[in-house]
Amino acid sequence: MKNKKTLFSLGFFFIFSVAFLFGSSSEKAAAPEQAKPAVEQVKSTPELRKEFPMKSHHAKLSFECVYCHEGQGNNPKEFTTPGDKGCLSCHKSKQYLADRLKFMDKLHVNPHNSIHDGPVLYCDECHNEHKPSINMCAECHEHDVKIWTKDTP
């Protein structure tokens, strides 16, 4: 009876130590990653801003490139389209944006809550940053629907 108990606790101790060993070894494997220098060191210099001008509503806020191009490395010339995630890190969510222009829902023309697709479109189907924006709805509706209060900012 007593032996069984000892065996049991020994077994328990064994499992515990194995778990501990594995736990600490995976910690060690992760360590070099953390020791790496911060990846994004591109500074939003006047030269880069001239080459890749931002929209006036962003430019006046002294943005860093990485606010949108997060995780794209250290060569600004190799940055690519950031996708929705970059925009939504500040602009919250597609539903939030849809709600802000809710007054347009009545006529079914809310660009953020499309009558065809709902609030799911990619930002860059209309908004660009370093070149003029477009409005993909106008590709089909240019002539029959004069709806938006202004061009895509």
Query: Contact residues for ligand HEC (CB under 6 A)?
Result: 44, 48-49, 52, 54, 57-58, 61, 63, 65, 67-69, 76-77, 79-82, 84, 86-91, 94, 97, 100-101, 108-109, 111-112, 114-116, 121, 123-131, 135-137, 139-141, 148-150, 152-153
Residue with Cβ nearer ligand HEC (11 or 53): 53
Handedness of CA 142, 84, 72, 129 (dihedral sign): positive
CB of 63 to ligand HEC, least distance (A): 4
Geometric angle at alpha carbon 56, from 73 and 88, rounded to 5°? 50
CB of 137 to ligand HEC, least distance (A): 3
Give residue 99's identity as a one-letter amino acid code. Answer: D
CB of 119 to ligand HEC, least distance (A): 8
Residue with Cβ nearer ligand HEC (28 or 143): 143
Give the C-alpha separation, 76 to 41, whole Å. 10
Token pair for 64 = 């860093």
**Residue 97, C-beta contacts closer than 8 angstroms, at least 6 positions apart:** 91, 112, 119
Residue with Cβ nearer ligand HEC (40 or 114): 114
CB of 73 to ligand HEC, least distance (A): 11
Residue with Cβ nearer ligand HEC (13 or 102): 102
Q: Taking the mean position of all CA atoms in its chain, how far away is CA 137?
A: 24
Geometric angle at alpha carbon 86, from 85 and 88, rounded to 5°? 65
Residue with Cβ nearer ligand HEC (40 or 127): 127
